[in-house]
């Protein structure tokens, strides 16, 4: 059954304006949600195209065909390119897409040629539909390859693929059969196509919002488990990593050790050079530690100038050897921070699963006692075993 084309265009215009405004309002609440802002901009451009097309139907011959057809389709092609920009923003890469710009330019040239220079409704519609399909398909592939993951990303990519397929089918059918009814003539086919665009706008906005919320949630989870100064796990992140390694060690009956490491007399660094310099030095210390330990060893900031090292598959000797290498790496030469040379040393204590404890708390307590013993003996040393109480 064919629906009234003007009514469908009006519904598309109103829905896309509302969805675009909603998307931009969401982005204003969270400046980091750049993808939803780009999506809102694309929706508003599409809405301008629907409004121009509706005006052509409402005003008839009083509105030049160049405005009601050429301009309306130019808005549509531009909206498709902006959808691709949104996908690239979502993926976290440069928004501008050179291939997309070439396709958009080709669409504009085709519009000008087949609407003004050599009018051919079928050729213009077919070429524009196929180019728009290519832009939307490229957007879907970009979304699908993003690292973010999650069901919302999959939904959005799949939705874009479906829209691209509808546009490609439309363009191909026009190439094969022409347009006997004229531009957007009332028919069941056009009614279905416009309704599909309406559904795509609603579902797409929902998917983008959900995808942004997923990204925000992951960001909050990262903030909760990562030390923002050094970008290594904080105490909560260390506990999560330890529980994972503990489970693996228990299943495989493998050794597991950890070390607590503390910079010696670090307060003097802050007092002499200031806290910003101290923070910069902590970052440099972490770089040396990470360059020294094995790839699968886990380093985290336990608090202040204290760090924890989890050694999967390592016994006491291996953990002490690793901690000793870290100690040497920190002490071997001064740190150059903003042109100033700063020197520090490191003390460490080691604890081993089974011998010193069976969980995080008991191992940390044992490693802390060994660390205290290293401090008592004069600092700048590794104590591999906590003294007896």
pLDDT at residue number 360: 94
Co-location of 219 and 246 in the same domain: no
- Same domain, residue pair 20 and 156: yes
Read off the pLDDT of residues 295-353 as tens digits, 9 standing for 90 and up. Answer: 999 999 999 999 999 999 999 999 999 999 999 999 988 888 878 888 999 999 999 99
192 found inside a domain: yes
- pLDDT average, residue stretch 48-60: 74
Is there a single domain that holds both residue 188 and residue 78?
A: yes
pLDDT(99) > 90: yes
Instruction: Give the CATH number, domain containing residue 300.
Output: 3.30.70.270
Task: State the maximum Cα–Cα separation within the chain, in Å, rounded to a whole number.
Answer: 97
Q: Which residues are catalytic?
A: 305
Which residues in the chain belong to E strands, given as ranges?
256-263, 298-303, 306-312, 335-337, 340-342, 346-352, 382-383
Q: Is residue 169 part of a domain?
A: yes
Among the three residues 224, 247, 271, which one is the final residue of a domain in this structure?
224
Residues 73 and 184 in one domain: yes
Q: pLDDT by residue (tens digit) across 153-179?
A: 888 888 889 889 988 988 888 878 776
Closest CA to 352 of 256, 286, 219, 250: 256
Among the candidates 189, 224, 259, a domain finishes at 224
Tally DSSP H helices, then E strands, for the chain: 13, 7
Residue 80 belongs to domain spanning: 5-224
Residues 11 and 69 in one domain: yes
For residue 364, what pLDDT is reported? 95
Structure tokens, 372: 């205290």
Average pLDDT, the chain: 87
Tokens of 359: 């969980």
Question: In this structure, are 52 and 178 located in the same domain?
Answer: yes
pLDDT at site 373? 94
* Residue finishing a domain among 196, 224, 252: 224
Say what the pLDDT of residue 185 is. 58
Domain count, the chain: 2
Contact assessment for residue 282 and residue 290, using Cβ atoms and an 8 Å cutoff: no
Name the pTM for this structure: 0.64
| C-alpha pair distances (Å), 375 with each of 153, 172, 345 | 51, 78, 11
Q: Which residues pair with 260 in a beta bridge?
A: 308, 349
Distance, in Å, from the CA atom of 91 to the CA atom of 94, rounded to the nearest integer, reads 9
Structural domain contains residue 372: yes
Q: What is the CATH number of the domain that holds 108?
A: 1.20.1070
């Amino acid at each position: 059954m064919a629906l009234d084309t003007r009514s469908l265009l009006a519904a598309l215009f109103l829905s896309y304006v509302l969805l675009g405004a909603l998307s931009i309002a969401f982005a204003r609440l969270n400046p980091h949600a750049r993808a939803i802002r780009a999506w809102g901009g694309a929706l508003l451009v599409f809405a301008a195209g629907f409004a121009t097309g509706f005006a052509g139907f409402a005003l008839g011959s009083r509105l030049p065909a160049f405005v009601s057809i050429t301009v309306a389709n130019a808005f549509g092609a531009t909206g498709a390119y902006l959808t691709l920009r949104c996908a690239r923003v979502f993926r976290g890469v440069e928004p501008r897409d050179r291939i997309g710009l070439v396709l958009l330019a080709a669409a504009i040239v085709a519009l000008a040629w087949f609407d003004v220079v050599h009018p051919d409704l079928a050729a213009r519609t077919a070429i524009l539909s196929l180019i728009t399909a290519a832009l939307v398909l490229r957007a879907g592939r970009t979304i699908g390859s993003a690292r973010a993951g999650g069901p919302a990303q999959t939904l959005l990519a799949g939705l874009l693929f479906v829209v691209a397929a509808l546009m490609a089918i439309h363009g191909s059918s026009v190439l094969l059969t022409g347009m006997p009814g004229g531009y957007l003539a009332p028919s069941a086919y056009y009614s279905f196509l416009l309704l599909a665009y309406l559904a795509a706008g609603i579902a797409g906005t929902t998917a983008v919002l959900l995808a942004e919320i997923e990204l925000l949630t992951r960001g909050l989870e990262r903030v909760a488990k990562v030390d923002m100064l050094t970008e290594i796990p904080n105490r909560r992140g260390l506990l999560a990593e330890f529980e994972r390694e503990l489970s693996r060690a228990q299943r495989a009956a493998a050794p597991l050790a950890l070390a607590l490491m503390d910079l010696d007399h670090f307060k003097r660094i802050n007092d002499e050079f200031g806290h910003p310099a101290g923070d910069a030095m902590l970052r440099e210390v972490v770089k040396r530690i990470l360059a020294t330990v094995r790839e699968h060893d886990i380093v985290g900031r336990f608090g202040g100038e204290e760090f924890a090292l989890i050694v999967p598959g390592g016994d006491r000797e291996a953990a002490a050897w690793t901690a000793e290498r870290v100690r040497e790496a920190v002490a071997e030469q001064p740190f150059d921070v903003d042109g100033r040379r700063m020197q520090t040393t490191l003390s460490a204590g080691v604890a081993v699963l089974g011998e010193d404890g069976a969980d995080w708390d008991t191992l940390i307590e044992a490693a802390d006692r060994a660390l205290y013993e290293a401090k008592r003996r004069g600092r700048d040393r590794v104590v591999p075993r906590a003294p007896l109480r």
